[in-house]
Chains A and B, each alone.
Chain A
């Protein structure tokens, strides 16, 4: 993985000093709440329902074991012993004290981490495929490009006061595991007509109140021009994006208002006017960064069947929580953070430290964070998966539900967030209580359940095969259900099935949707595909047919 040189180190250290001074001035009354707000937000610090929340960047979701150990240690010493992994591959602490934040940042800087631009109207932490570099289906490892974008976007002099937040995702595989079509810019590694390396560029995707799927701005961009092209898009957006209405300020609204043709024309015109002297990534720099992501020195092994003769619990875990690796004899292992009685995405200090140790022992010292709020050990020898499973199971980290209904995405909701209408964590608990039979979950197969506590859509409900959105009705929590959404290569937005339902009826509503699926599905058809084939109608009819059983 990438390691800091003197430039990177200088920048994060100087950032800590800058933020320490800003915090001191705020606590001394020299900065008003509002003045400090603009500064702290660009450093991931929110003031939340109960306490400040600090969001720490995990660039493109990749952590060393040492970094994860530090995250665990921070959780124990500055928080209440846990952290929350987010849909943007970051981690959030919900209980730090403002006066401690500069010290936390200093500890992060010591392990080459930071909270720069994890919130605020600026270019956010770049996200990517959590399986990058380990999967067989990749054109090219996207992480070097993520790192190049991370550096370019950090303290970008021109684009730190944008109309609204700005998210970029990069993928290197035809299978989109980074929800790239739902980002302000999606960068897809591609090949030109003669096989030359470059990118397809999308813009204007996003969730929130107005969900939109991104559109192609450029079919093929030669790789050395990536940064100048991103600058052209950002410049058009910075100048022309709306600043009068926070709900209409994302680039998706600009792209919609202009139409993709006109938006493309403006971006191309801007790009043509400066690409000759704009930032260009020379081959030496591309190679310098790529060297950090060179393939590991894998052992020469053969594929084996670790499940042969083993107990059913291991076999279920192996089937659901591991994935093919590009190297024979290796396996990608998911660590589920979706244990039924735990808030989705949460991990304790001890769990983080244990996972760091397991990464050292079994997976070349690296851990990845997925946008579905799980962790991944990317390079595990197949013969070691049984040992690894036993260690994970003892720590409550082997819930065999990856890709199933209970592997749900969920925002922190009312329990922590000052924006939320609904206690999404509580609903997650109700769902887990209702759907605790693994045979049934496995029979249902792959279903993305995504839940947001409010229309800001941090839980990506629009792109869940089943989406759940918390709404406020006269001070009560209600839930609007959508079906048919997807975040992958076949991205689509879900359809509302009808009036929202009361909290206690959410599990029954899901049960009825699933009942229709089980009745109507064709062999090997996913829930999503059944919905696409039949439309909302049969589901709607069943859900609203009669009052939910008490």
Chain B
């Protein structure tokens, strides 16, 4: 039973990071119908930027949490700028192009960011320093680290802010209107370029936060670290119903839980035939199952035939 609760905690932590990335996918998809393949790479850039900032600040002797906060802010700014530039340079011109063109461009962009990161930061994996107290908090059996606490808390705050932003502000209303019908939104005085840029910036900021969390939680950063989280976060977005914000959160947390519990019990259940290294394929199996049984996702509307 103790393992079970421990895996639930791990799953929630993993799931909140997926949720943050999935929100970026789902917002972009909701507005311009593009799977932004490069989104996982934005997470990677956030993590590596934060690593650089932390390494630079390491000798100043400031407390760990302050270093982390500064690096987080720098990462958010860098990622937001990057994603803004990507949209303007690569995706904007392809808005009316046939569907394959932006998708292939996004794939190329993902490859480009990975390669550039490999050139800038060198390909070897780098240890991310422990900035927060490492003493785990005992919850009567299962334990939770300070970093994990922080991840859960921060995710909750961010989600609440995002919900407020989307549902209560003028920008949020413009975003929802553009997602629903870009042409009519334009007629109502919404500037689509502005809304799309805002969406990319917000998505990048969320991915940057997730990237720093990922680095702090797993303690290593590398140019290829963005691929799997990105792919799984997209799965989470589809799982919850792409284009739906609440769905992305639900899908992310669900996927995190399934993965953590699956990895913990798979070996026992199958009598050692399938070990925990198969954890990575849960996401894809879940994706195929969802697409077969409920293509619109758990909370989603029908998007299959939207032309």
The finding on whether chains A and B are genuine partners in a shared complex, rather than unrelated, reads no
Q: Could you list which residues of chain B lie within 8 angstroms of chain A, going by C-beta atoms?
A: none
**Which residues of A line the B interface, CB within 8 A?**
none
